[in-house]
Each structure stands twice: as C-alpha cells, then as structure tokens.
Chains A and B, each alone.
Chain A
Amino acid sequence: MFVTILILGLVLGGTYALLALGLTLQYGIARIMNLAYGELTLAAAFILVALMQGFGISPLLTVALIGPVGYVVGSLLYTVMMKPLVARSSGGKLDVDSILATFGLLFLIQGALLMVFGPNFTSISYLDKGVTIFGVTVALNRLIALGICVVVGGALVIALATTRWGLALRAVAQTPTSAPLVGLDVNKVARQGFALGTALAATAGATVAMYQTFSASGGVVFTMKALVIVIMGGVGNVGGALAAGLLLGLVETFVATAIDPGLTLAATFAIFLLVLLFRPQGLFGKA
C-alpha cells in the first residue's frame, strides 16, 4: 500500500509539476501572470492530436518538437503583446495589466480552438500500456510525463543555479529595476523567460494530450492547477514548483487511497491555504 501510494503519487505529481514549470518561469521572470496559460497548453494538446490523426506523426516526436515552436510563439507573444505593457508600467501595475491582457488572450485562444477543433471532448489512445514498477502498474504515457518533468525541471534548476544565463534570469527575477545597472538587457531576459515558459507550457500540453481527456473550454483547469503549484512552490522557483507538484500528487493519491477519493480537492486546497497562511512566499520561496 505504501509503495503503491508512493509510485502512483509521484507519477501524478510529475504530471502536475510539469504543468506548473512554465507558469512559474513566466510569472517569476517576466512578471506576467499569464491567465491564458491553460489555453496555450491546450493548443499544444490539440496540435499533437491533429498531427497524429491527420498526418500520422508520432506523439513523442511532437512532444520533442513542440517546445521550440512554443518558444518562438512565446517570444512573438511577448514582443507584440506584453512589451507595450511592460514599457508603460511602473511599480505593481504590470501585474494587473498583464492579467487583464492575458484574460483577453484566454478568450481569443479559446475561441480559435473552438472554431478550429470544435467543442468535443478529445482524447487519444497512445502508450496506454501498463508498466510494472515494484509491483505497481502505472501507465507508460504518465511515466513519460514524469520523466520529461524530472529531466526538464532538473536541467532548468541546474542551469539557473550554475550558468551565467541562469544568473541573468535570476537577477531580472529578483530586482528588475537594478538589473540594467549591471549591464543586463531586462527586456531581452524577460522575453526569454516568457518564451521559455511558453515552450514548457507547450511541452506540458502535448504530454497531457497523451493521457488525459480535454476539450477546448477546459484550459482554465490547467491554469488553476498550475497556479496553485506555483504559489505553493514560491513564484519563479523552479525547484519549488517541482517539489510542490510532487507533493500534491503524493497527497492526492494518499487521500484517495487511504481516506476518500472525494477529499482530494479538499486536501489540495487545505495545503494551499496552510501555505498561504504560514508561508505566503511559498514553501521554497525566500521571504
């Protein structure tokens, strides 16, 4: 029972964490609270299904290639839509402005998805095979999601902590006003952060498409889940998002198995509430 909870929980947590990585980068570095985040992941999910059903392209290939596409899209989005907001904002105004702007973007993308892909539930069957780990059967596609999450998340943590590029990103995240003083192009770094976040959103969306049922109007569910994890892990904290995602997965699985599946949501938000009350900077954020 313990091993079951541990393995099922980690796999579920991995899928959660993967969803949250992009949002934490976008908010942490570019300071843009992207309410259209879920719609961006959905768009990637739909693209994966369309490529698979229309052209027979392997979903794994799409997962690998959609990241760079997401990066370009994110970069364009930042340049066209967010930069004017950043340019005119001072103080905390960017928070509110970006929420309003991305709230509009949410409907734009949702409308486009509804038009192109229709309102139906979409779900594909790909790598739904069971894999047995320590006697517990888990779906291969979810295991892949966990793998992507650990590799990408781990690489990001290391890159942010050890490389010069990571240092620049962290500098802009911490004090965007003083970063130019040491010769950093804040705009460029913020764009990179936002684009990288979009790339991760796209990767997560494509991965989700392999195991989950989704529809054009369900993006907000992804945004909410990611938001909870981002705030729990500490905004902009990649390692925190990873840990918070895994923790949520473990808690949900524990509650579902040992107590009552009906209480999983309650448990999630109870933890969320506790974090907000006692560690508003997030479990791993600095005060």
Chain B
Amino acid sequence: MVNLFKHAKACTTAFAVAAASFMTAGHATAADDTITIGYAVALTGPNATGAGISTVPNYRLWVDQVNGEGGIEMPDGSRKMIEVVEYDDRSSNEDLVRAIERLASQDKVDLILPPWGTGANLAIAPLMARFGYPQLAVTAVTDKAPEFAARWDRSFWMLGGGHDYATGLVDVLAQARDAGTINNKIAAVSVADGFGIDLIKGARPAFEEAGFELVYDESYPLGTSDFAAIMSEAQASGADSFVAFSYPPGSFGMTKTAQAMGFNPKVFYISVGGAFPIYPGIADGKADGVMAIGGVDGTSDSVKAYFDAHTTFVGNPPDSWASAVTFASLEMLEQAIGRVGLDHGDLAADLSSGTFDTVIGQVKLEDNQLRDLWTVGQWQNGAFVGVGPADKAGAAAPVIPKPEW
C-alpha cells in the first residue's frame, strides 16, 4: 500500500513535469503577401488517432493544394500564400485553449482552423468567439448544435448530432422491415461514452416509434477489447439487425468477433471506424454489406478526385465520413475569403449565408449548420457509399440482407 501511494505521488509529479514543457513552437512572420493560418490539434495522445485520420491530413492537403496554385485568391484577384502555424495540444483541452490564446494574441494569425473532436471544439468556442474568429467546427457531433450556433454566431457546425444519425439509421431499417426483408427485432449495443450515449438515446425512441422492438440493448465501457460475450448474447436474441454505436476499436473488435463466431445478422451496423479505409482489411476482405455511420456520394466525380488526391498526398485514402466534410469546410473558407477578404465578421457572414461549391457538392448552411448530411453508409463493391437519407442525391440502394461473412 505504501508503495502504491508513493507511486501515485511520483506519477503526479511526473505528469506535472511533462505537462509544463511540451508545446511545439511555431513561427509566424506576417508579411503582406501571405496569410497565416494557425491550428492546434492532437498530434500526440489519445485524440491523435482521430485527428490523424479526419483532420490533420486534410489541413495539410488543402494548404499544399492552395499554395501549389499560387495561394489563396483575394477579392482583388491577387493571391496570398498560406503560412501555417501548427501546435500540438497533446489531446489536452487545457493545452488546446492555451494554444488558441497564443495563436490569437501572440502569433496574431489571420485565421484559426478548429481542432478535432466534439469536446475540443466546445472547449475553444467561447475563446474563438471572444477573439472574433470564425470557427468551422467539423468533427463535432452534437445535438446541441442549434443552441451553440445561436450562442456563438461565428461558429459553424457541420457534422450533425447523434439524433440525426440514429433516426437516419432507423429510416433505412424501417424501409427494409416494411419490405419484409428483416424482422422487427433489433439488437443494439453502445459504448458508454459521450458519443455512444448520444446515439442510443436518440435511437431508442426512434426505434420504438418506427415499431421496432429492442430485444437486446446494452452498453459496454470504453476500452472494452473482448466482445465475445456481448456478441453471443446478440446472436441469441433473434434479432435480424445488429446495431453498434461504437468507436473504432469496438467497431473493429465486433466485426472480427462476428466473423469468428459466424454471426451473420441481416443488418450489421457499426459506427465510427466503419467508414475508415482500413476497414475492408480488418473485415478480411468481406466488408461488403456492412453498414456504418457516414458515407460519401459514390457517384460523384469530385469525391473521386478528392479521394485520389488524398491518396497521393497522404499515402492512404481518407475516411468516408468526416474527411470529405472537413475538406469541404476548407474549400468554403477559401471561397469566402475570395469573396469578402479576411475580415472575420465579413467572413462569418459569408459562410453563414453564402453558397459554396465543394467536394461534397453545393453547400449552403442552415442556421450555421450543415444539415444535408449522409447519415448511413454501406460498403458496396469495395467502396463505402452513402445509402441514407434515401432521397439525398447520389444515394445508393442499401443491400439487405448483408451477404454472409
């Protein structure tokens, strides 16, 4: 016991020491022919994985493309090269807030790009509002987006809320049930963390309203690595549809477990991670038919071009959920600058009311939110394509039942 306490104390000291000295110093020179754009994202720590998939590669790709074309076009037709100030927030919101303060008051960057994650975007929203910077929060999934957009009028929320995704899924399943393809029983599991809780909370009433019966509805703790017990319960439940509101490790683990035990529900839905480019490899090449959160327009040439450019520049394709939206948000910023220049108030006004041509098609925000979203996607012929909402342009028809593993 004594030893344990000693350990705890030593650990605290060590954390404090480490925390005191970690910021990667950036350097900005604000010449007239450049725009400085700053951002603080998680390059290390637990959030580095998410940021490293959806956020950082897109920022770098975009800067590379824009500078390759000679810079951002200003309203007067001149071009300004982008100079980047990049900080690592080490997945800590305290460090993140400090870095944003520094970007705004010391580096005096022209624009600040948002960090990765719902919590991180909420953490900096008041600060961004105080300094007047527009905040294009992409990787933030929250049902409270309308409130936030009203509270901070220069904030923009582009990935919807848990309720959108839950109801989107229920719509897809209800159609299949009405067509007689699946029974009305659902086995649902959810990770006991912000995201999973939000989604299952939205899904429960939506399933009930649509006449579904939740025959298995359990949550599991974050960090769970073994899903054998959960999956065998779900298999025994008699449900045709398996729904998991999960993070990538869980999504991948459940896929492997389902394959190992020969669990072949007619609908196999997982959440974050299902749209990652590595998913087919994890599913041992048998990803076709698996549904997950997100999606892109499988028929769109601009999406295809973006995937190719991303693959060339980063080395792997982007994920098919937040990546394209992140890139679209940067294109919006670029086009808004081209129309109104760098004044933060004008930029925010243009972002809020303007129409933009982006990789995900024509975008027009509603009350500072992107509402025209893919909620459900499915692996079809090796590509992850949007299947819901069914009436969205480019939507593919869902394949139900899923072929056996």
Using CB atoms and an 8 Å cutoff, list the residues of chain A in contact with chain B.
4-5, 8, 11-12, 15, 33, 35, 92, 95-96, 99-100, 103-104, 107, 110-111, 114, 118-125, 128-130, 136-140, 142, 211-218, 221, 231, 252-253, 256-257, 260-262, 264-266, 276, 280
Contact = CB atoms under 8 A, between A and B. Distances in A.
A213 B224 contact: no
Contact of B221 (A123, A265, A280): A265
B276 to A, nearest CB: 7
Contacts of A252: 226, 229
A252 B221 CA distance: 11
19 contacts: A8-B229, A11-B228, A95-B3, A100-B14, A111-B44, A114-B43, A119-B48, A119-B52, A121-B248, A125-B281, A129-B260, A137-B261, A137-B262, A213-B225, A256-B229, A260-B219, A261-B189, A262-B192, A262-B219
B150 interface: no
Interface stretch (B98-106, B118-126, B154-162, B251-259): B251-259
B52 A261 contact: no
Contacts of A4: 229, 232
A255 to B, nearest CB: 9
A124 B252 CA distance: 10
Given A95-B10, A110-B44, A139 B260 contact: yes
Contact of A92 (B3, B14, B226): B3
Given A121-B278, A125-B283, A212-B225, 18 more contacts: A11-B228, A15-B226, A96-B10, A114-B44, A119-B49, A121-B273, A123-B282, A125-B259, A128-B256, A128-B260, A130-B259, A130-B260, A136-B232, A138-B260, A139-B228, A139-B261, A213-B282, A265-B224
A121 B13 contact: no
Interface string B153-189: 0000000000000000000000000000000000001
B228 A8 contact: yes
B313 interface: no
B219 A100 contact: no
Contacts of A5: 229
By Cβ-Cβ distance, the 10 closest A-B pairs, closest first, are A119-B52, A139-B260, A125-B284, A265-B221, A137-B261, A256-B229, A261-B220, A213-B252, A119-B48, A213-B249
Contacts of A33: 7
A61 to B, nearest CB: 20
B45 interface: yes
A48 to B, nearest CB: 15
Given A128-B284, A130-B262, A139-B260, A217 B226 contact: no
Contact of A114 (B48, B230, B281): B48
A256 B220 contact: yes
A15 B51 CA distance: 30
B2 to A, nearest CB: 8
A257 B229 contact: yes
A125 B261 contact: no
Contacts of A118: 52
Interface in B208-235: 218-221, 223-226, 228-230, 232-233
In this complex, the member of B221, B228, B248, B253 whose beta carbon has the largest number of chain A beta carbons within 10 angstroms is: B228
A280 B1 contact: yes
Contact of A95 (B6, B52, B232, B256): B6
B18 A103 contact: yes
A121 B252 contact: yes
A100 B284 contact: no
A211 B252 CA distance: 10
